[in-house]
Amino acid sequence: MEAAVQQTPKRARPLAGTTVGIPPRQLDFTLPAQGQRYFYDNNATASLFFAMLSAFFPPGEDYFVESVRHYRKRVTDPKLKAEVSGFIGQEAIHGREHDRLNELLSSRGFAMKAPDKAVRAALWVLDQLPQSQKLACTTFMEHFTALLGEQLLTDELFARRAEPEMIQLWFWHALEELEHKSVAYDVYDLVGNSRRERILAYALVTGTMIPAVLASWGYMLAKEGVFRNPKDIRRGMKLLLGRKGFITRILPQMGLFARKDFHPDKHDTRALVAKWRNKLFGESGSLASDLRNPEVATVQ
């Protein structure tokens, strides 16, 4: 009688971002080669603001990833390790796709080098900080991008005003910002969350980024000749910073970051995430056919 063959027990596969709800989605976006020059409500002032914001994303995503990756080896919890992997994967793809969008906007004649240089200068200043302070700055900027993402997904006027083909990239980015909104903060909790550092991060980021925003946006407006059209500026500022403006509705929530008991998950966006996962990647989702790794579409 042959001896029974002993089977070596299979090792459990390590968790990946997909299994913890943070799937790096590989997408083939079809960006409009031709289209309305001012893609947000046919308004130059507001359109250039969003173009400037898009230019900020690739260098910003790199900064976020590196500040979290520095502490990656200290993460031992399997779930958080998987979340970090998903976070890094998603942010890398965001940077790549916004690079493509920025090339398109540059081909339309927008001065995209100005915001790129401005944000890199601001991030260079933040990069001189100690590692824990850099991570605190990342958690504050992730707080902003999560609020921005939520605003994008809940503001029905934004969807109606924006160029339909281009808006899909922003919806996808917004969804993933909400999916991974707590990861950098949870790593920061692990390595020693300091409220003092968080408050300082608030001051440092606003003190470097706001000048970068104003200088580059102003340059783009000047280059486009928008300052010769006060009507466009008034309307654009109302769209963004009016009483019910796109940015106005985000600003009151920024200060939550400085609270002693702050955590991103205290603001529950799970229902919103589930809704938009289905809208974008469900069976008849608007981006389902663009997924190059469709296995991630089943994430709940």
Q: Residue 262: which of 212, 191, 211, 189 has the closest Cα?
A: 189
Please give the tally of structural domains in the chain. Answer: 1
In angstroms, rounded to a whole number, what is the distance separating the alpha carbons of residues 184 and 212? 23
pLDDT string in tens for the chain (300-residue length): 444 444 444 454 555 789 999 999 998 887 777 778 899 999 999 999 999 999 999 999 999 999 999 999 999 999 999 999 999 999 999 999 999 999 999 999 999 999 999 999 999 999 999 999 999 999 999 999 999 999 999 998 888 999 988 899 999 999 999 999 999 999 999 999 999 999 999 999 999 999 999 999 999 999 999 999 999 999 999 999 999 899 999 999 999 999 999 999 999 999 999 999 999 999 899 999 889 988 887 676
Three-state secondary-structure class, residue 82 = helix
What pLDDT is attached to residue 4? 45
Whether 44 is in a domain gets the answer: yes
| The dihedral sign for the CA sequence 9, 11, 12, 18 | negative
Residue 299 lies in a domain: no
For 116-170, strand residue ranges (E) read none
> Is residue 11 one of the residues assigned to a domain?
no
Dihedrals phi, psi of 212, to nearest 5 degrees: -65, -40
Pairwise CA distance, residues 232 & 218, whole Å: 14
Residue 292 domain flag: no
d(CA 279, CA 214): 35
CB under 8 A, 24+ apart: contacts of 31-35: 31/100, 31/101, 31/104, 31/165, 31/166, 31/169, 32/104, 32/163, 32/165, 32/166, 33/104, 35/163, 35/165, 35/166
Check if the beta carbon of residue 141 is closer than 8 Å to that of residue 52. no
CATH of the domain at 162: 1.10.620
Give the whole-angstrom CA distance, residue 197 versus residue 237.
33
Query: What is the CB-side half-sphere exposure of residue 175 using CA atoms within 13 A?
Result: 25
pTM for the complete prediction?
Answer: 0.93
Question: Structural domain of residue 73, as residue ranges?
Answer: 34-281
Q: Assess if residue 192 is contained within a domain.
A: yes
In a domain, 286, yes or no: no
In a domain, residue 228? The reply is yes
Asked whether residue 294 is assigned to any structural domain, the reply reads no
The pLDDT score that the predictor gives to residue 250 is: 95
d(CA 241, CA 157) in angstroms, rounded, equals 14
